Amino acid sequence: MKQRIHFNEVVTRDGFQIEGEFVPTEAKVRLVDALSQCGYAKIEVTSFTSPKAIPMLRDAEEVMGRIRRAPGVEYTVLVPNLRGAERAMESRADELNLVMSTSETHNLANLRMPREKSFAALADVIRNASGRTPVNVSLSTAFGCPMEGEVPQETVLGWARRFADLGVRGVTICDTTGMAHPAQVARMCEEAQRRFPDLQLTLHFHNTRGMGLANVLAAVQAGIVRFDGSLGGLGGCPYAPGASGNISSEDTIHMLQAMGYDTGVDLDALLQVARTLPQIVGHEVPGQLVKAGPSTQLHPVPQAVTELRATL
Amino acid sequence: MKQRIHFNEVVTRDGFQIEGEFVPTEAKVRLVDALSQCGYAKIEVTSFTSPKAIPMLRDAEEVMGRIRRAPGVEYTVLVPNLRGAERAMESRADELNLVMSTSETHNLANLRMPREKSFAALADVIRNASGRTPVNVSLSTAFGCPMEGEVPQETVLGWARRFADLGVRGVTICDTTGMAHPAQVARMCEEAQRRFPDLQLTLHFHNTRGMGLANVLAAVQAGIVRFDGSLGGLGGCPYAPGASGNISSEDTIHMLQAMGYDTGVDLDALLQVARTLPQIVGHEVPGQLVKAGPSTQLHPVPQAVTELRATL
């Protein structure tokens, strides 16, 4: 029996939110619908934030209303507060994904409030959603903050504990700016699983410094079975302009399948979708697999070799 | 005690050989001299092939004659045949690096002869160099051939055995087109070390499908302590146009150092050299670390956060 890996595609939320040009609603809906046919366990469709804060995702209700939901796929959305949670639940989101940073400076920079204030606000959301919609919490900068540097593992797992005690279904441990290395990932994953055997633990990696798939390997070796990824490696953070962003879903799924894991994803179908992405966003994307093809896709034998063989 | 990793920089050979524009001899010499100050265990300087076969490296003698050799660094060169070996030894190369493919089709395509003929020619070189210069053999397509597909591990290790029996000092197991995945790498490395405890075993990875550093991780976990890398990730193969080439030395060294390995390399000095590479070759290169900076390099706290803190 192959080990099952649950993959969460975040391109239309985490990828699109920092794009320079608005991706038309129709293109978003078509992309989600195409991804729905690929076999993902979960798709993070959009974000119910203020249209002023993230204008790229100002069409959250319309996108959620128009997508065709595939059986077996969970449709999750990012939610920053009570108002967003109400909108998300009205849109019949299967899950609310809340977010705060484990670094005080990063939380102040991104969410404009101290971590304790974020926690109190998210706790309200969790209590309000209780019995209606499952909640996941994404903990940012869990492997390092671009301004503070190291974030102690104890700090990260401390926040995870406080959310677990509120009854969330899952926690995503996020390497928001690609600072994690595999030894650190292995330690974090082992300890998180030991402390939270009943939580759905997801790992979210970026490839900012080229370590994305190495970190996936370290996590999967440690027993993690849930990952976020972004089609084409779209997304990223403003602290590393020009560098890669999120790990590429197709590159990650290709590696895991080659190693014998069951991701549930139809890689050929996924690559067809991935090939449309540069046109949707109007620029090249970092994913490698569209350029190189899967390692199982062979090249024809050159004519010169055939001729040479005939002379041997 | 930190585990020592021996790093071999191949940019001026493997990287430059497929460049479109000739890199001037002076630029090559200056680059090798700068790399010599970074703490590498080995530098593959150039190739003593026919100037017609690889015009980019037609200045091999001049480069070898003009570089300033740093104590503790080995200067190795690629050698295709007896004639090349004589030229290399006249140029006082510290090592001869021979190459053949473990896939018959790839050997026919690249070297224009069957593997047995390559082996016989390289065996002549090894006997001729015996007692004069140590020899390493690079075995190409060891994790898959872009035309044949799978190359059985037994085939790869069979060729390694035949070269070991001839008395070579080392064997490099090469993932020439980026087809290796970590589970395959782990199996290969474990078995190769079991069979050849006295050989210097080096692993050579490409990042064609994004798995380069994951494969380094798998190899280092299996006990491998020698790696090839190319500054900026320069190099590659014609079967995946647009995709990444060799693993980036600076990205790899950054990861290994973050994990606690002793690579001997001064990463800050190396990044200074890496930043000059796009100008030398006249185009962008795939390495991420120059764009993102090391994970220890922190960003200033934004003014808005300082102001916000003052109000709390």
In this complex, the residue of B112, B209, B248 whose CB is nearest that of residue A288 is B209
- Cβ-Cβ contacts under 8 Å between A and B: the total is 157
Report the gap between the CA of A19 and the closest CA in chain B (Å): 19
**B294 interaction partners in chain A (CB closer than 8 Å):** 209
The pLDDT value recorded for residue B124 is 98
> Cβ contact (<8 Å) for A210 and B181?
no
- Minimal Cα–Cα distance from A117 to chain B, Å? 11
C-alpha triplet A204, A234, A81: angle, nearest 5°? 60
Encoding tokens for residue B111?
A: 């070297």
Residues, chain A: 312
Interface with chain A: mutation pick from B3, B5, B103, B108, highest number of A CBs within 10 Å: B108
Report residue B201's pLDDT band, with 50, 70 and 90 as the boundaries.
very high
Q: Which of A173, A113, A108 lies closest to A137 in space, CA to CA?
A: A173
Q: Which residues contact B111 (CB under 8 A, 6 or more apart)?
A: B80, B100, B101, B118
Burial class of residue A72 (count of CB atoms within 10 Å of its CB; 0-12, 13-18, 19+)? exposed
B208, B292, B309 ranked by CB distance to A209: nearest: B292
CATH 3.20.20.70 fits B6-311, yes or no: yes
Closest residue, chain B, to A145 (C-alpha): B298
Rounded CA separation B12/B173 (Å): 20
Give pLDDT tens digits for A245-299.
Answer: 999 999 999 999 999 999 999 999 999 999 999 999 999 999 999 999 999 999 9
**pLDDT band at residue B14, thresholds of 50, 70 and 90?**
very high
pLDDT of res. B237 = 74
Q: Which residue of A has its CA nearest to B258?
A: A181
Chain B residues whose beta carbon lies within 8 Å of the beta carbon of residue A254:
209-210
Q: Is the pLDDT of residue B240 over 80?
A: no
In whole angstroms, give the CA distance from residue A220 to residue B53: 44
pLDDT at A166: 98
DSSP state of B111: H
Task: Please compute the mean of the pLDDT values over residues B2-26 and round it to a whole number.
Answer: 96
pLDDT given at position B244: 86
Please give the Cα distance from A129 to B4 (Å, whole number). Answer: 52
Q: Look at B181 and A291 and tell me if their CB atoms are within 8 Å.
A: no
Nearest Cβ partner for B295 among A209, A242, A309: A209
Residue A240 has pLDDT above 80, yes or no: no
Does the distance separating the beta carbons of A208 and B109 come in below 8 Å? no
* Partner residue facing A213 (CB), from B210, B243, B309: B210
Task: Check if the beta carbon of residue B226 is closer than 8 Å to that of residue B279.
Answer: no
Query: What DSSP character marks residue A312?
Result: -
The pLDDT-based confidence of B1 (bands split at 50, 70, 90) is confident
Instruction: Report whether pLDDT(B239) > 80.
Output: no
pLDDT given for residue A237 in this prediction: 74
What confidence tens digit (pLDDT) does each residue in A26-48 have? 999 999 999 999 999 999 999 99
- State whether A259 and B289 contact (CB < 8 Å): no
Q: Which residue of B has its CA nearest to A301?
A: B147
Positions of B annotated as catalytic residues are 237
Digit-coded pLDDT (tens) for B53-76 = 999 999 999 999 999 999 999 999
Q: Say how far residue A63 (Cα) sits from the centre of its chain.
A: 19
The tens digit of pLDDT for each residue in B114-148 reads 999 999 999 999 999 999 999 999 999 999 999 99
- What tokens does B265 get? 């390399």
Question: Which amino acid belongs to residue B15?
Answer: G
- The domain limits of chain A are 6-311
- Chain B positions touching A112 (Cβ under 8 A) are 308
Q: Are B57 and B17 in contact (CB under 8 A)?
A: yes
pLDDT of residue A141: 97
What pLDDT does B41 receive?
98
Q: In whole angstroms, what is the distance from residue B69 CA to residue B29 CA?
A: 11
Residue numbers in B near A109 (CB within 8 A): 301-302, 304-305
**B305:A207 CB<8 A:** no
**Which of A125, A139, A148, A116 is closest to B312 using CA atoms?**
A116
Distance (Å, whole) CA A175 – CA A236: 11
Active site residue A174: no
Q: Residue A243: its pLDDT value, please?
A: 79
Predicted confidence (pLDDT) per residue in B33-42, tens digit: 999 999 999 9
Which residues of chain B make contact with A115, given a CB cutoff of 8 A? Answer: none
Residue A133 DSSP code: S
State the average pLDDT for chain A.
Answer: 96
Both tokens assigned to A180: 């994690």
* Ramachandran bin of B12, using left for φ above 0, alpha for ψ from -120 to 50, beta for the remaining angles: alpha
Mean pLDDT confidence for B191-204: 98
Rounded CA separation B28/B60 (Å) = 10
Per the structure block, which two tokens stand in for A220? 């999967």
Residue A159 — left, alpha, or beta (φ > 0 → left; ψ -120 to 50 → alpha)?
alpha
> Given the DSSP bridges, would you call strands A95-101 and A74-78 parallel, antiparallel or unpaired?
parallel
What is the mean pLDDT of the segment spanning A192-197? 98
pLDDT at B312: 87
